[in-house]
Chains A and B, each alone.
Chain A
Amino acid sequence: MAGQASAPPEESMYQQFTPHRAGLPNLVEYFKLVWRRREFATEMSKSRVRGSHDNTVFGTAWLLIDPMLQSTIYFVMITFIRGHSSSGPTPGHTFAHLTSALFAFRLCQNALSTGAKSVTGAGKVLLNTNFPRLLIPLSAVRTGFTRFLPTIPLYLLIHLLVGEKWHVTMIGGIFFLGCLLVFGMGLSALAATLTVYFRDFANFLPYIMRLWMYLSPVLWLPSQIKGKPPAVQSLMEGNPMYTMLGGYSQLLQNGHVPALHVWVTAAFWAIASVVVGFLFFISREREFAVRVL
Chain B
Amino acid sequence: MCLAIPARIVELEGDRAVVDTMGNQFKAKTTLLPHTKLGDIVLVHAGFAIQVIEEEEAKKTWQLIAEIDEFSDTQNRVSG
Chain B binds chain A: no
